[in-house]
Amino acid sequence: MNYLTVRRPAATTVNNGLSTLSSFDRLFDSVFGGMPGWDDRKPAVDIRTDEQQYTIEADLPGMSDDQIDVRVEDNLLVISSRTAEKDVKDESRQDTNDSTETDGYILRERRQGAFHRSFSLPKDADPGKIDANYRNGVLTVTVNKKPEAKPRQIKINRG
């Protein structure tokens, strides 16, 4: 069975076959992984499948559809945000709690700024038939399966 998978950058491996990058990531996640708000830039994603298609739903509250970019490149489905110049400026000072800022914020915990998610398309996905809809803060991307990959009933002939 084919599944969409999150693409992770390749890293060098050490003698026991584990990458040094993944070993560091596991250590880092074990210490800081449970901290609230640590990885807020990565939107939550649900992926479902049926006989006809794959459906990816991403939570993107507070964004407008013109800030969201969905594309296919090198057999990867890429979901990212295009950020306005004001958002980039806000992102650079998001960790400050200075009440003298000109935008009026006293406390700012909701993250602003760009994100990037990549998913490898399975062999039975049709990259030419992908639709995206954005409604009520949820981006829904539908990836149709190729017709030859869909299950079909074979009639048994007597004879």
Across the range 3-18, mean pLDDT stands at 56
**What DSSP letter does each residue of 51-83 carry, written as one string?**
SSEEEEEEE-TT--GGGEEEEEETTEEEEEEPP
How far is residue 17's CA from residue 21's CA, in Å, rounded to a whole number? 12
Identify each DSSP E strand in 13-154 by its residue range: 45-49, 53-59, 68-73, 76-81, 116-120, 125-135, 138-145
- Which of 84-97 are b and which e, b meaning 16 or more Cβ less than 10 Å from the residue's Cβ? eeebeebeeeeeee
Domain 5-10+19-146, CATH: 2.60.40.790
Question: What is the pLDDT, as a whole number, of residue 100?
Answer: 45
Question: What is the pLDDT, as a whole number, of residue 20?
Answer: 58
Mean per-residue pLDDT of the chain: 76
Domain definitions of the chain by residue range: 5-10+19-146
Over residues 110-134, the pLDDT tens digits come to 666 788 899 999 999 999 999 999 9
* Ramachandran angles phi, psi of 47, nearest 5°: -125, 125
